[in-house]
Amino acid sequence: MAVVDITHTRPASASDYIALLKPRVMSLVVFTGFVGYMVAPGQGDAVLGFAAVLSIAVAAGAAGALNMWYDADIDAVMSRTRSRPIPAGRVPGEEALMLGLTLSALSVVTMYLAGGLLAAGLLAFTIFFYAVVYTMWLKRSTPQNIVIGGLSGALPPAIAWAAKTGALALDPLILVAIIFMWTPPHFWALSLISHKDYAAARVPMLPVTHGAKSTRIHVFIYSLLLAPLALTPVLTGFSGMIYGVAATLGGAFFVFLAWRVLCSRAGEGDAAQDKPARDLFGFSILYLFALFATLLVERGFG
């Protein structure tokens, strides 16, 4: 980590500390975790369920703060992240580190109390995987960084399932696999748009190391793998027809948008050519929300 010049422009406000927790990333993690808890078998309990999902949210925030502490040098270079609290000089890096470590400990302890040892262990592993394996190691060393690092963002449904049942099963692992396979096309679509930033920050993202064309091919291949994988819950009998229809239509449109990206010149420097990548990135978020929302309607609410 390079030393970042901290120039206090104004005293940090509460919103700066909230920004350290990456609330937008947190929202998807919280939602998939919530669905994971709701669709797991058993009665469950409102207080314990709330505490388990809150622990996942706080852990995601803690991992985000640790990421911002370590990546302050990268964030200062990239236009998308330049105004984050640490590179903008509003919050000292050490405060983000302390906030991240404190919230990590509190979230794991709370998860242990509410969901038991397995869930707490998985939660601790997730924070470690994101903050250490992804942020400190993979992100700066391999273009496969977001593929492997995506595991940390994929685990929440399994953690929540373990919190409710005390064990793991095939169904939550399928949900993890779906998010895991969804992450590369989602993130590479974004990296096609902001590849210049990554190049300037010397982050070995796929468009920087292998070029835009290779990235577009990768996006299409992962989309082709994702669409049928998302239908697995129907085959195992875990989900019903509503989910099946959503996964089929959503998957087909996902592949269509990825095909448009494949045929485009997205990521080659002309911002006007990036629209297909922008469309895929936007739809990918809606797609994952829709999959888990239909699962929630079918199983969570009976």
Partner 1 sequence: MSGVILTPEELAARRRRNLFIALAVGAFVVLVFAITLTQLQAGVLERPL
Distance (Å, whole) CA 173 – CA 274: 34
Indicate which single residue of 4, 6, 25, 54 sits in contact with partner 1 (rule: CB under 8 A).
54
The nearer residue to partner 1, 53 or 151, going by C-beta atoms, is: 53
By CB under 8 A, tell whether 51 contacts partner 1.
Answer: yes
By CB under 8 A, tell whether 270 contacts partner 1.
Answer: no
By CB under 8 A, tell whether 47 contacts partner 1.
Answer: yes
Paired tokens of 30: 């919280």
Judge contact between 38 and 299, C-beta under 8 A.
yes
The nearer residue to partner 1, 111 or 295, going by C-beta atoms, is: 111
The nearer residue to partner 1, 46 or 170, going by C-beta atoms, is: 46
Q: How far is the CB of 12 from partner 1 (least distance, A)?
A: 7
By CB under 8 A, tell whether 132 contacts partner 1.
Answer: no
By CB under 8 A, tell whether 45 contacts partner 1.
Answer: yes
By CB under 8 A, tell whether 110 contacts partner 1.
Answer: yes
Backbone angles phi, psi at 178, to 5 degrees: -65, -50
By CB under 8 A, tell whether 17 contacts partner 1.
Answer: yes
Work out the angle between the directed axes of helices 117-128 and 156-165 (0-180°, nearest 10): 160
Work out the angle between the directed axes of helices 156-165 and 145-154 (0-180°, nearest 10): 30
The nearer residue to partner 1, 10 or 302, going by C-beta atoms, is: 10
Judge contact between 77 and 63, C-beta under 8 A.
no
Indicate which single residue of 4, 6, 48, 296 sits in contact with partner 1 (rule: CB under 8 A).
48
Give exposure, 124-157, as e/b (b: 16+ Cβ within 10 Å).
Answer: bbbbebbbebbbbebbbeebebbbbbbbbbbbbb
Specify the stretch interacting with partner 1 by CB under 8 A; choose among 13-21, 120-128, 137-145, 228-236: 13-21
DSSP per position, 163-177: HHHSS--HHHHHHHH
Indicate which single residue of 5, 9, 10, 271 sits in contact with partner 1 (rule: CB under 8 A).
10
The residues that touch partner 1, with contacts defined as CB under 8 A, are: 10-14, 17, 45, 47-48, 51, 54, 106, 110, 113-114
